[in-house]
A and B are shown apart, each in its own frame.
Chain A
């Protein structure tokens, strides 16, 4: 599958409180969470983000709490994927489990500028910056996690196993 969108750039150590502040965690409704996505990092983000847009970030994206509401909010806001230098561990797991595509690609995360048009081939992990013409290779996903993606998330994967 190919993802395509305009990029929004954030710094390093974007924590889950910035992605979805705890004051909104008295619900798990994706649409409501999306309305506050990235609010404490950029209050205008929920209004300006368009379906297909991508988040580009530095190291340790999604650090902090285990709230799955963070990748849920990003996905429900229409963001097609997150490209970062590195991801915090629990966020990384959660993103796969709920089906938010994420790509670890330090060089791409460094180079890509806000507003660039980018495409990502989810199968090969090849990232292309349409604005500059430069391509990058994301760190390969372990085969086991590819199975989770292929099944459509952890719950489907587990359901299959339980049959």
Chain B
């Protein structure tokens, strides 16, 4: 029977010839992940299971990235649990501040996850790695604990939805805009429990950074995973990078999809998602006059090299508006170094912006850029829920790095065309 890429990866990891949507399987995991918010709970639960060792000390990453560098004593205690657990079990992939990056920027970059893998992570944006042609999904802490002990997890095989993007992208339009447009179309539960497979010419020409951004936000449509069939762009990215053998899976031409959406990518403008749901997206040209107090460029969604370069292209030689604070968060130490070498930090700092060490910080209202009551931010992050970046009466608008940079210069939500 024909299968989608998602079904093929799940079947291979369940030791089956084939699987069908709705089927419950026990699947072997190639890699698991936790962070400083979710892993402390997982560690506590792991210790209740009554096993002495983790299933594989090379296949677990603990990344303290949310409240780090530790923002207060309680956060420090949480992060310490990760450090101690990693030492006790000899975990190879524990990342201390200074080597740490935002988990979903870090793992692909370090070649810890690759095409054909099955990955679960105690973080909802674990779906990011689908961009590599992997099955990857977010779970809670208890699921992580069980997987750390067993090296397997139970999963329901999701139905797949295909999203076909025809046409060529307009300037300043990237993965963020395609995914915000999609979520705007289908809603925050438009792909509930389902696999979102992105395909078509516009995806084939999309860079790996752009693909990671798209799959990252599959969860914002309720999706179980986002996935892109691997191709030459994938091969170029993973060759010499992936630390384990990888496998390219394709969807069969006659595979079954629950639904197929067709979009003409050439008609999609840079998008802005208005408060308080990612589905409230609209073209930036229809944003109206929205004054802002803060601009955040970074996060697991848009904290990669291409994102920083895009923002720097617009900010070069310009000044951040007097009423606005701009904070830039490179996703990893490697991205940080590269951005420094390319002179991007000089552009940001001369424009009047601040550059931070990698952290999830403001994206989830943790630290390093919290909003006061009534304040408004435009951010390249992934969620604009009530209180997401601070006070419950603050507001977050989601956009791509170019829109964020243009808005920083003009002090209001603006398209890149207005400052070019």
Q: Which residues of A contact B (CB under 8 A)?
A: 13, 15, 17-18, 21-23, 25-28, 40-41, 43, 59-60, 63-69, 72, 86, 88-90, 93-94, 97-98, 142, 144, 153-155, 158-159, 161-162
A153 touches B387 (CB 8 A): no
Contact A13-B386, Cβ < 8 Å, known A28-B44, A66-B138, A90-B139: no
Q: Is B341 an interface residue (CB 8 A)?
A: no
State whether A13 touches B383 (Cβ < 8 A).
no
Q: Are A97 and B387 in contact (CB-based, < 8 A)?
A: no
11 new A-B pairs (CB below 8 Å) besides A13-B277, A15-B383, A90-B124?
Answer: A17-B387, A21-B365, A27-B74, A40-B386, A68-B38, A89-B192, A97-B140, A98-B140, A144-B24, A161-B150, A162-B149
Report the Cα distance A127→B139, complex, angstroms.
28
Min CB distance B21 to A, Å, is 13
**Please, which residues of chain A bring their CB within 8 A of the CB of B188?**
13, 60, 63
Shortest Cβ distance from residue B151 to the other chain A in the assembled complex, whole angstroms: 12
The CA-CA distance from A86 to B383 in the complex, in Å, is: 20
Known: A63-B189, A89-B193, A97-B140. A17 touches B386 (CB 8 A): yes
Is B364 a contact of A68 with CB atoms below 8 Å? no
Nearest 9 pairs of A and B residues by beta carbon: A94-B140, A97-B142, A26-B74, A68-B140, A60-B189, A22-B364, A66-B124, A68-B141, A40-B387
| Chain B interface residues (CB < 8 Å from chain A) | 24, 37-38, 40-41, 44-45, 48-51, 66-67, 71-72, 74-75, 78, 121-124, 126, 138-143, 145-146, 149-150, 154, 156, 188-189, 192-193, 219, 222, 224, 277, 364-366, 383, 385-388, 392
Known: A27-B74, A66-B140, A144-B154. A158 touches B385 (CB 8 A): no
> What's the count of A-B pairs with C-beta under 8 Å?
140
In angstroms, Cα B158 to Cα A90, docked, is 13
Partner of A64, one of B66, B145, B383: B383
CB atoms of A86 and B366 under 8 A apart: no
B189 touches A13 (CB 8 A): yes
Q: Given contacts A59-B189, A66-B122, A88-B189, is CB(A40)–CB(B142) below 8 Å?
A: no
A89 neighbours in B (Cβ, 8 Å): 192-193, 222, 224
* Least Cβ–Cβ distance between A77 and chain B, in angstroms: 17
B140 and A90 contacting across the interface, CB-CB below 8 Å = yes
Task: Report the bound CA distance from A43 to B66 in whole Å.
Answer: 25
A20 to chain B, nearest CB (A): 11
Known: A90-B138, A94-B142, A158-B149. A17 touches B74 (CB 8 A): no
What's the Cα separation between A50 and B26 when bound, in Å? 39
- A17-B140 contact given A60-B188, A89-B193, A89-B222, CB 8 Å threshold: no
Q: In the bound complex, what is the Cα–Cα distance between A65 and B193 (angstroms)?
A: 15
**Cβ of A97 and Cβ of B24 under 8 Å apart?**
no
B142, A66: Cβ atoms under 8 Å?
Answer: no
Q: How far is the CB of B84 from chain A (nearest CB, A)?
A: 15
Question: Which residue in chain B gives the minimum CB-CB distance to A161?
Answer: B150
The CA of A86 and the CA of B122, in the complex, are separated in Å by 22
The answer to whether A98 touches B364, judged by C-beta atoms less than 8 angstroms apart, is no
Which residues from A are CB-within-8-Å of B143? 93-94, 97, 154
Residues of A within 8 A of B66 (CB): 22, 25
Q: Are A67 and B78 in contact (CB under 8 A)?
A: no
Give me 17 A-to-B residue pairs in the complex whose CB atoms sit less than 8 angstroms apart, sorted by A's number: A17-B387, A22-B388, A25-B37, A25-B67, A27-B74, A60-B222, A64-B385, A68-B38, A69-B41, A90-B219, A93-B143, A94-B141, A97-B143, A98-B142, A153-B142, A155-B142, A155-B146
